[in-house]
A = this chain, B = another copy of it.
Amino acid sequence: MTDRYASFANSGPGRTLVKRLGLPDPPRLRRHRPGDPLLPGPALLGAAPGGRLRDQVAKILTAAGVELREPAAATDATADGRSAERYGALIFDATGITDSTGLRALYDFFHPYARGLTPSGRVIVLGTPPEACATPREATAQRALEGLTRSIGKEFGRGSTSQLVYVDRDGSPVSLESTLRFLLSGRSAYVSGQVIRIGPGPATAPADWDRPLAGRVALVTGAARGIGAELARVLARDGARVVALDVPAAGDELAAVANAIGGEAVQLDLTAADAPDRLARYLADRHGQLDVLVHNAGITRDKTLGRMDPGRWDAVLDVNLSSQERINDVLLDRDLIRAGGRLIGVSSIAGLAGNRGQTNYATSKAGVVGLVRSMAPVLADREITVNAVAPGFIETRLTARIPLMLREAGRRMNSMAQGGLPVDVAETIAWLASPAAGGITGNVVRVCGQSLLGA
């Protein structure tokens, strides 16, 4: 569960050796600690002429305690493309770009500051969703932004991240705020190269941004260990009353997780025929309604298709997909998920890209993407959002069992040259779970350090 190479590479003698031999150089990632400022340095905020988000973003950042800088006139940046100051973030409002010739504004903004980011710095480009653009020319230019942000994520290095945030013209300002707070902070340490869409939808700013889930009830499945256990902890830290659920066989570990956070432990096999009903009755009795439901439980049963027995197919599809659909349907039918509720699924890079030996797993995880996309418009009427995260290589007991060479490939083949931690997935889910995230639905966000692998 530990990346010994990364620890070594960040030690005194390790650093020297890594540089001399040109070995992979996994940076120490900035992660959130209570009381940390959002950024380790000021943010540089620029905009293409006519941008509609610059002022809104400036207000959000200032209120969040971020020091703002304006891009200097071209002559102030030194000739070799270095600026004197170091920035915690480079943020660019590209919504004013309505034609591909206007993309030059991106170059003008980023070129002089490309090497001016602090380690674990942040790049955020804000755009208009191509499907909401007035003309094909505008849609083309806005879609082009993705090529830039993904390239920057692979180029800037040193733990920096780069994202494209598409904000609808009626996109929720509160959700934009919560998204910027997430992306700038150390909570998004392992999220990079992503495209996030913010739409309308009712969203509520929390009284305390450090406890956005105060007074909310959250159910986490598969909570006994790994990502689920960490998620239970993070949601509780954010103020939620956490119902931690897992199979009876994991009862002891589950109890330990629940006790440590003052939550409840529920032992239940979600694939049992009566599970949805039993869960529904438990929630109705104890909590009335649920605010946050995270379908984190998942299993793998790897085999190539020719060698796979039907039990492996059925078990993976049922745990990872079908049982979740059954539970959603029952909880929604009985009105057990409150307006303002948050459904969150867990997909996987394998679900997006496919994987050898995982036809069953990839099919189930691709299904999670389908579930999110197809349920989002249906649930919007009830003011419930549905999103998923798609983890890449995360350091857990599961990945510790992967053979060394494959494990090293998975760990290093991303922009961070290291695996992520369960907390990285948990923080991403917590962002989507927040009452402020009401404008975010139908999204699938990878937590993969911008893994090279994809579809």
Chain A interface (Cβ within 8 Å of chain B)?
A: 81-82, 99-101, 103-104, 106-108, 110-111, 114-115, 130-131, 133, 135-137, 139-155, 193, 304-308, 310, 313-314, 317-318, 321-322, 325, 350-367, 369-371, 373-375, 378, 452-455
A47 CB to closest chain B CB (Å) equals: 18
Complex contacts, A362 vs chain B, CB 8 Å: 147-148, 150-151
Q: Is the CB of B305 within 8 A of A114?
A: yes
Tell me if A308 and B111 are in contact (CB < 8 A).
yes
Can you spell out 21 A-B residue pairs with CB atoms less than 8 angstroms apart? A99-B325, A100-B322, A100-B364, A101-B322, A106-B363, A107-B310, A110-B359, A111-B310, A114-B305, A114-B306, A130-B370, A139-B374, A141-B370, A146-B455, A147-B351, A147-B361, A147-B364, A151-B305, A151-B358, A154-B355, A452-B452
Of the candidates B361, B367, B452, the one whose C-beta lies within 8 Å of that of A100 is B367
Q: Which residues of chain B are near A115, meaning CB under 8 Å?
A: 306
| Cα(A198)–Cα(B353), bound, Å | 22
Cβ–Cβ < 8 Å partners of A354 in chain B: 146-154, 193
Which of B108, B356, B455 contacts A455, CB < 8 Å? B455
- Which residue of the partner chain B has the closest CB to A386? B136
A143 and B151 CA atoms in complex are apart in Å by: 28
Q: How far is the CB of A285 from chain B (nearest CB, A)?
A: 28
Question: Which residues of B are found within 8 Å of A147, using beta-carbon distances?
Answer: 350-351, 354, 359, 361-367
Q: How far is the CA of A354 from the CA of B155 in the complex (A)?
A: 9
A367, A371, A378 interface centre (most CB from chain B within 10 Å): A367
B313 touches A144 (CB 8 A): no
Asked if A304 contacts B155 (CB within 8 A), the reply is: yes
| Chain B residue, CB-CB nearest to A359 | B151
Which residue on chain B has the smallest CB distance to residue A320? B100
Q: A154 to B353, alpha carbons, bound, how many Å?
A: 9
Q: Contacts A147-B354, A155-B304, A354-B153; is A313 near B366 (CB within 8 Å)?
A: no
Give the distance in Å from the alpha carbon of A104 to the alpha carbon of B360 in the complex.
10
CA distance A107 to B153 in the complex (A): 38
B residues less than 8 Å from A453 (CB atoms) = 452-454
> Chain B: which residue is nearest A314 at the CB level?
B104
Return A291 CB to nearest CB of chain B, in Å: 21
Residues of B with C-beta under 8 A to A358: 151
> Distance (Å) between the CB of A52 and the closest chain B CB?
19
Measured between beta carbons, the chain B residues less than 8 angstroms from A130 are 370, 373-374
Q: Closest Cβ of chain B: how far from A75's Cβ, in Å?
A: 14
- Shortest CB–CB separation between residue A126 and chain B, in angstroms? 16
Most B Cβ at <10 Å: residue of A322, A364, A366: A366
